[in-house]
Amino acid sequence: MKELAAGIAMGAGAIGPGIGIGIAVSGAMQAIGRNPEAAGIIRINMIIGVAFAEAVAIYALLIALLLIFVAQRGI
């Protein structure tokens, strides 16, 4: 049961960040398309934005890891 919970936690928790990262990178691509000179600074800001969105996925991964490796028997 714990493994199932861990799988659901990680799976559901990756939907939001996946969409969020897609939106962020798409915005960055459009910005680079309009202004190729600013590609460097756009890339840096995109990486930072992606790191924030990814953090939420990492929170879900932490819950999954906690469930598998740390949760006591009988939960």
Site residues (vs another protein, CB under 8 A): 47-48, 51-52, 54-55, 58-59, 61-62, 65-66, 69-70
Handedness of CA 34, 31, 19, 14 (dihedral sign): positive
DSSP alpha helices (H): ranges in the chain? 2-13, 15-34, 39-65
Closest CB to another protein among 19 and 58? 58
33 backbone dihedrals φ, ψ, rounded to 5°: -65, -35
- Least Å distance, CB 51 to another protein, is 5
Closest CB to another protein among 26 and 59? 59
Closest CB to another protein among 19 and 51? 51
Residues in the chain: 75
- Least Å distance, CB 66 to another protein, is 7
